[in-house]
């Protein structure tokens, strides 16, 4: 059972979220504004914060920033739940380290699934340790080194960044454009085909672990959510 903090000022929306997440087996604590949300976050140390952006006092962005500035809360995943049309805030939210985004009006089922996915990712993760192990793959974030089944694989800086970016957003589809943006940076004018070429080379280098990087036809790529068994 995970402890979830919902920061949402609209009582109806708050009740729907609270009810359904409790139904899904979670312990749910609610806050009606940003300040109360931050106070509760420090008090209860939630496993996940569901955060509305349009709040009466502090904006969700400010709350997100405060969470990420807090030594003890910065590792807490944040799921932004906000109204359509707040695209700019969405970008800022991700820049500030929000883990995912659900647009209102949302489907309850989708919300519950997203929450589960984030909790699973965080349970599997190592809290930001330098080394991560995923199936036969081992990544040292700090040393920029990668091993497959114990053998070191020599990657270029770009290939390493590409691998790490996909790994850190695993189980989610990454469009070519999103990868271009995150790996190459949006200031470069590069064809999405470049992404394909680099992914192809990265897969060749990964050898037996190549299957961890899945192609999503017509969209982009997805790093596997769990290592293939066997
Ligand atoms: Ca609101």
pLDDT tens digits, 50-67:
999 999 999 998 999 999
Q: Say whether pLDDT at 215 is over 80.
A: yes
- CA of residue 20 to ligand 1 center, whole Å: 18
For residue 105, report the distance from its CA to the centre of ligand 1, in Å: 12
pLDDT value, residue 129:
61
Domain borders along the chain are 3-124, 131-223
- Using the mean position of ligand 1's atoms as its centre, give its distance from the Cα of residue 36 in Å: 14
pLDDT at 72: 82
What pLDDT does 188 receive? Answer: 61
Distance 54 CA to ligand 1 centre (A): 4
The DSSP result for 125-160, as a single string, is S-SS-SEEEETTEEEETTTTEEEETTEEE---HHHH
**147: exposed, middle or buried (C-beta count within 10 Å: 0-12, 13-18, 19+)?**
middle
pTM: 0.57
**Greatest pairwise CA separation for the chain in angstroms:** 55
The verdict on domain 131-223 having CATH code 1.10.10.10 is: yes
Q: Report the pLDDT value the prediction gives residue 68, as an integer from 0 to 100.
A: 84
CB of 7 closer than 8 Å to CB of 66: no
Say which CATH superfamily domain 3-124 falls into: Response regulator (3.40.50.2300)
From the list 13, 22, 14, 12, the residue with the least C-alpha distance to 4 is 22
Q: How far is the CA of 81 from the centre of ligand 1 (A)?
A: 9
Taking a C-beta distance cutoff of 8 angstroms, is the pair 63, 7 a contact?
A: yes
Ligand 1 midpoint to CA 159 (Å):
40
Residue with tokens 């990668």: 146
How many angstroms is it from 134 CA to the middle of ligand 1? Answer: 38
pLDDT score of 86: 63
Check whether 83 has a pLDDT greater than 80: yes
Q: Residue 59 Cα, ligand 1 centroid: separation in angstroms?
A: 9
Structure tokens given for 69: 């500035």
181 and 161 in contact (C-beta within 8 Å)? no
For the stretch 153-164, pLDDT in tens is 998 888 998 999
Instruction: Write out pLDDT tens, residues 107-140.
Output: 999 999 999 988 887 775 544 567 888 999 999 8
3-state class of 195 per DSSP?
helix
Question: Over 60: is that where the pLDDT of 230 sits?
Answer: no
């Amino acid at each position: 059972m995970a402890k979830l903090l919902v920061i949402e000022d609209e009582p109806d929306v708050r009740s729907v979220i609270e009810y359904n997440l409790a139904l899904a087996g979670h312990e749910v604590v609610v806050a009606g504004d940003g300040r109360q949300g931050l106070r509760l976050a420090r008090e209860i140390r939630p496993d996940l914060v569901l955060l509305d952006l349009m709040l009466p006092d502090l904006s969700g962005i400010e709350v997100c920033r405060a969470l990420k500035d807090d030594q003890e809360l910065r590792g807490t995943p944040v799921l932004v739940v906000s109204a359509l049309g707040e695209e700019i805030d969405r970008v800022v939210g991700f820049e500030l380290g929000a883990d995912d985004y659900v647009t209102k009006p949302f489907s309850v089922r989708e919300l519950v699934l997203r929450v589960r996915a984030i909790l699973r990712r965080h349970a599997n993760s190592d809290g930001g340790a330098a080394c991560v192990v995923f199936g036969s793959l081992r990544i040292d974030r700090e040393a920029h080194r990668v091993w497959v089944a114990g053998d070191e694989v020599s990657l270029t800086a770009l290939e390493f960044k590409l691998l790490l970016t996909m790994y850190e957003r695993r189980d989610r589809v990454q469009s070519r454009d999103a990868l271009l943006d995150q790996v190459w940076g949006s200031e470069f004018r590069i064809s999405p085909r470049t992404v394909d070429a680099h992914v192809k080379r990265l897969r060749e280098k990964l050898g037996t672990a190549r299957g961890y990087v899945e192609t999503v036809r017509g969209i982009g790529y997805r790093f596997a959510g769990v290592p293939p068994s066997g």
